[in-house]
């Protein structure tokens, strides 16, 4: 279930996370079908809202895992 207090606009997320530009966030939204971001998006009346909890899960999934020591050889 979505809690309305967890929803944010693109601009709000860009302000709260200065390492993410509004343009980059809109690019991710445009490609949400292929990059897996779709579960974090809610569209109401032509506006896109971002579920912060789902966005954080998606962001964590983008983490580049360090290579194992055995992979280096």
How many domains is the chain partitioned into structurally? 1
pLDDT at 2: 86
pLDDT at 28: 97
Provide the whole-model pTM: 0.81
Residue 55 lies in a domain: yes
Residue 24 lies in a domain: yes
pLDDT at 32: 97
Residue 35 lies in a domain: yes
Residue 71 lies in a domain: no
pLDDT at 73: 52
The residue range of the domain holding 14 is 4-64
Please, what's the largest Cα pairwise distance for the chain? Answer: 54
Mean pLDDT by 10 residues, the chain (73 residues): 92 94 97 96 95 95 76 56
Residue 52 lies in a domain: yes
Query: DSSP secondary structure string, 9-73?
Result: -HHHHHHH-TTS-HHHHHHHHHTHHHHS-GGGEEEETTEEEEEHHHHHHHHHHT--PPPPGGGG-
Residue 69 lies in a domain: no
Q: Can you tell me the distance from the alpha carbon of 70 to that of 42, in angstroms, rounded to the nearest whole number? A: 42
| Radius of gyration over every alpha carbon of the chain, rounded to an integer in angstroms | 15
pLDDT at 64: 86
């Amino acid at each position: 279930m979505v809690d309305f207090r967890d929803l944010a606009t693109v601009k709000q997320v860009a302000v709260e996370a200065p390492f993410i530009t509004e343009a980059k966030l809109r690019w991710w939204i445009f490609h949400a079908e292929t990059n897996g971001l779709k579960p974090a998006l809610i569209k109401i009346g032509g506006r896109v809202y971002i579920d912060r909890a789902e966005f954080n899960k998606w962001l964590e999934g983008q983490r580049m895992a360090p290579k194992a020591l055995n992979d280096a050889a």
